[in-house]
């Protein structure tokens, strides 16, 4: 069984899933990863900003490595591959075994965030009832799993047919047809490896192979950077090229490869300078349409340009932003937070989902900030809004946010189908549950900037005790 962790966004609602969407198209990660590591390695938002490659070239799977020329290189390559788990072909499984596998996933990891009062005792009774009779066909087994998951009363927990699950394996957040994974070596150092390749995609055609270590992108060393940050460096306009320095295997050689990008990376950041009517204050207005792999880089550029133009206050517009990459939301929040500030908490039955994400950098700006929100500000956007609000860095203006703060994991079953299970939820720095509640703004209409400064100052004093 393979499992992927996915940050939940508004687009995971049953209606939106009529087309395979949500943060998926992931590389297969064949073990249960911690939230932190998974977000860094493969933080994804499905269907928001990527155009899949043609179907003939879009199956994301390991590519056979070149046959080594010597015993020493073979040994080196074998050592290297111990750090990369290769997805295997589906095993033969009985219909009853398939249903039991799906049942067990729920029993181990499902987090009931509704009012159904789910319990393992009642879930055990359901299994006994379901498996009391022989299941004759695979189609019937799939239907049983669908009904079993539907009985949980969670709109985000659902079954994926083999066809739907296969489409999820086409995700590429780099634009060159690779997925990256952070691997810790024996010295405790983090290295970035190519986890999966799109066969005949740009990187594969240029000579990149599974297990290769990424050393630099366009002469920028990637040591110490997350998979998310490096994926952002790899992205760019369709038809442009990116130069990757990589090491084949554990022992080299090191090679620089030029790869042509094959999808259009659209910036989600729009900005302009405005001036208030009452005084000469310069306002830097920034709108984020979505949170994708480009958003942090482009937001930094926008803020620096607005500062150079004389902006003394900033407005961050998150209205109608349905979310996207959770890691992008976390990185955006860190741009405004002090080192040590809590960005978000996660909660779940499994200890790996009981985490605190903390800012590890100093803020890019310290100017007063207004964040515009409405009832379509959701998921990762709510993480940004709550982090800035609860840490007294921003005043929220507008309407109560949507209230989507769940975490789902996608598990592959042995016949190539899959299940999406709610396994955790997000809690704000002030320990408020986002899901189903949303975030209440401080003002419905934009206040005077003096009022903004006073509100933030009062918030800071109360927070410090």
Q: What is the spatial distance between Cα 304 and Cα 155, in angstroms, rounded to a whole number?
A: 41
Task: Please indicate whether residue 357 or residue 17 has the higher confidence score (pLDDT).
Answer: 357
| Active-site residue set | 379, 404
* Res. 373 pLDDT band, cuts 50 70 90: very high
Residue 346's SS3 state is strand
DSSP 8-state symbol, 352: G
Average pLDDT, stretch 20-28? 30
Give residue-wise pLDDT tens across range 200-219: 788 988 999 878 999 999 99
pLDDT of residue 51: 26
- Per-residue pLDDT tens for 250-303? 777 899 999 998 765 578 999 999 977 666 789 999 999 999 878 999 999 999
Distance CA 421, CA 413 (A): 13
Please identify, among 233, 260, 287, the residue that sits at the C-terminal boundary of a domain.
260
Same domain, 335 and 253: no
**Which residue's entry shows tokens 């310069």?**
282
Per the listing, tokens 């209606």 go with 15
**Domain match, 320 and 389 both:** yes
Within 10 angstroms of residue 355's Cβ, the number of other Cβ atoms is: 17
The boundaries of the domain holding residue 276 are 269-405+425-464
pLDDT digits (tens, 9 = 90+) for 106-159: 999 999 987 778 999 999 999 999 999 999 999 999 999 999 999 999 999 999
The helix, strand and coil proportions of the chain, stated in percent and rounded to the nearest 5, come to 30, 25, 45
The percentage of residues in the chain with a pLDDT greater than 90, rounded to a whole number, is 54
Position 7 scores a pLDDT of 44
Name the domain count of the chain: 2
Q: What is the CATH number of the domain that holds 274?
A: 3.90.226.10
Residues 70 and 209 in one domain: yes
Q: Does the residue 157 lie in any domain?
A: no
Q: In a 3-state reduction of DSSP, which class is residue 177?
A: coil
pLDDT of residue 75 exceeding 70, the answer is: no
Residue-wise pLDDT tens digits, 27-50: 222 233 332 333 323 333 322 222
As a whole number of Å, the end-to-end CA separation of the chain is 49
- What's the CA gap between 290 and 245, in Å, rounded? 30
Q: pLDDT tier at 1 (50, 70, 90 boundaries)?
A: low
Q: Is residue 21 part of a domain?
A: no
Describe the crossing of helices 380-390 and 326-334 by its angle, rounded to 10 degrees: 20
The answer to whether residue 306 scores a pLDDT higher than 70 is: yes
Query: Does residue 4 fall inside a structural domain?
Result: no
**Within this chain, do residues 312 and 233 fall inside the same structural domain, yes or no?**
no
Looking at the structure, do residues 198 and 332 belong to the same domain, yes or no?
no
Residue 110's nearest CA partner among 164, 55, 53, 149 is: 149
Dump the DSSP string for 361-393.
Answer: S--S--S-EEEEE-TT--THHHHHHHHHHHTTS
| pTM of the predicted model as reported, rounded to 2 decimal places | 0.68
């Amino acid at each position: 069984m393979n499992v992927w962790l996915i940050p939940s966004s508004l687009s995971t609602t049953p209606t939106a899933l009529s087309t395979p969407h949500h943060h998926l198209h992931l590389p297969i990660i064949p073990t249960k990863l911690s939230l932190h590591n998974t977000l860094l390695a493969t933080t994804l938002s499905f269907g928001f900003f990527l155009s899949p490659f043609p179907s003939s070239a879009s199956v994301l799977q390991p590519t056979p490595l070149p046959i080594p020329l010597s015993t020493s290189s073979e040994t080196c390559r074998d050592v290297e591959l111990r750090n990369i788990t290769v997805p295997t072909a589906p095993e033969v499984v009985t219909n009853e075994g398939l249903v039991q596998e799906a049942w067990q996933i729920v029993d181990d990891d499902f987090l009931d965030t509704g009012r159904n009062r789910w319990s393992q005792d009642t879930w055990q009774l359901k299994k006994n009832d379901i498996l009391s009779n022989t299941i004759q066909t695979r189609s019937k087994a799939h239907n049983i799993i669908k009904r079993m998951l539907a009985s949980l009363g969670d709109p985000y927990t659902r079954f994926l047919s083999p066809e739907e699950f296969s489409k999820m394996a086409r995700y590429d957040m780099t634009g060159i047809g690779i997925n990256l994974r952070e691997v810790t070596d024996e010295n405790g150092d983090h290295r970035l490896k190519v986890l999966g390749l799109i066969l005949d995609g740009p990187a594969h055609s240029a000579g990149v192979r599974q297990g290769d270590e990424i050393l630099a992108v366009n002469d920028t060393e990637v040591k110490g950077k997350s998979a998310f940050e490096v994926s952002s460096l790899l992205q760019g306009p369709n038809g442009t090229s990116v130069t990757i320095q990589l090491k084949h295997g554990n022992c080299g050689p090191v090679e620089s490869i030029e790869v042509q990008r094959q999808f259009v990376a659209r910036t989600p950041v729009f900005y302009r300078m405005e001036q208030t009517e009452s005084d000469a204050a310069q306002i830097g207005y920034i709108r984020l349409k979505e949170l994708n792999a480009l958003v942090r880089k482009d937001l930094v550029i926008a803020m620096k340009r607005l500062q150079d133009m004389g902006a003394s206050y900033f407005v961050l517009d998150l209205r109608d932003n349905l979310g996207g990459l959770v890691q992008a939301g976390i990185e955006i929040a860190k741009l405004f937070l002090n080192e040590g500030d809590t960005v978000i908490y996660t909660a779940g039955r499994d200890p790996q989902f009981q985490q605190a994400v903390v800012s590890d950098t100093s803020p890019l700006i310290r100017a007063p900030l207004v964040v515009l929100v409405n009832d379509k500000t959701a998921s990762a956007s709510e993480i940004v809004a709550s982090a800035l609000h609860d840490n007294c860095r921003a005043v929220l203006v507008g309407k109560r946010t949507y209230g989507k703060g769940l975490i789902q994991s996608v598990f592959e079953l042995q016949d190539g189908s899959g299940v999406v299970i709610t396994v955790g939820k997000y809690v704000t720095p002030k320990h408020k549950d986002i899901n189903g509640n949303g975030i209440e703004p401080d003002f419905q209409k934009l206040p005077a900037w003096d009022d903004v400064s006073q509100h933030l100052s009062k918030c800071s004093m109360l927070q410090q005790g």
